[in-house]
Amino acid sequence: MKDPRVFNPFYPDKSKDNLLIILGDCGLLWTDKPDKTELFNIKMLDKKPWTTCFLDGNHENHTRLDNLPIIEKWCGKVGQVSESIFHLKRGEIYTFDNKKYFVFGGADSIDKGMRMPLRSWWPREIYSREEENTAFDNLEKHQWNVDYILAHTVPEFLTLKGGPLYNEYYWNSDPTRKLLEHIVYATSFKRFFAGHFHENINFKWNDNKEFHVLDHLGSGFLIL
């Protein structure tokens, strides 16, 4: 089994069996109807020698994501964008390469006051009660035990004063961070990956749990 690692476009043995996972703020679907940029990017990614997956960040057209056709893939539900591009949905547990990945995207936008609702900011950046229930039901089915957690943001305690992601200028209250904190305390896992913070930070917590905040091309990429 290959451990997830940071994407390198020159990685030699890529094929459609490899997954590129974008940890949110992909923004691939941004306008209400597909525009030239979106069609170009989808065509370009479909031609690449990998399968592209993304979980949602805060900067996404969540209305478009909510309306994607849903199919069963990797033992969970995904939104299908194209032949080889898939949206990983909040609360699902996917099996990639025999390892379990719990996914929970979304985050609060600190700049939403400067954005236009449903044009450049979507309230669905924050999870619904249904998505919270899906997460708890799926974690229960897996006895609260997964190999990896993929999210856009991180558990709240990491952003509080004294935590590695504390920032006194940008602190905001984010329900997704609170929910992730609850999930992290209740779940056994090895490594947690996030994007969102525009920083590369790696650290250990509770002796054996690793946290990786990635900033590759802005939102964190992994390849399996």
Handedness of CA 112, 115, 116, 119 (dihedral sign): negative
**Cα 9 from Cα 77, distance rounded (Å):** 27
Whose Cβ is closer to Fe ion: residue 57's or residue 100's? 57
Whose Cβ is closer to Fe ion: residue 80's or residue 120's? 120
Residue listed under structure tokens 């856009």: 152
Task: Name the strand (E) or helix (H) holding 20.
Answer: strand 19-23
Per the structure block, which two tokens stand in for 14? 């890529």
**Cα 132 from Cα 73, distance rounded (Å):** 20
Q: Name the minimum Å distance from CB 24 to Fe ion.
A: 6
One-letter amino acid of 192: F
- Given the rule CB under 5 A, which residues bind Fe ion? 25, 57-58, 196
Whose Cβ is closer to Fe ion: residue 52's or residue 153's? 153
Residue 121 makes CB contacts below 8 A (sequence gap 6+) with 109, 112, 115
Using CB positions, name the residue nearest to Fe ion: 196
Q: Name the minimum Å distance from CB 172 to Fe ion.
A: 12
Q: Name the minimum Å distance from CB 105 to Fe ion.
A: 10
Whose Cβ is closer to Fe ion: residue 25's or residue 131's? 25
Q: Name the minimum Å distance from CB 224 to Fe ion.
A: 22
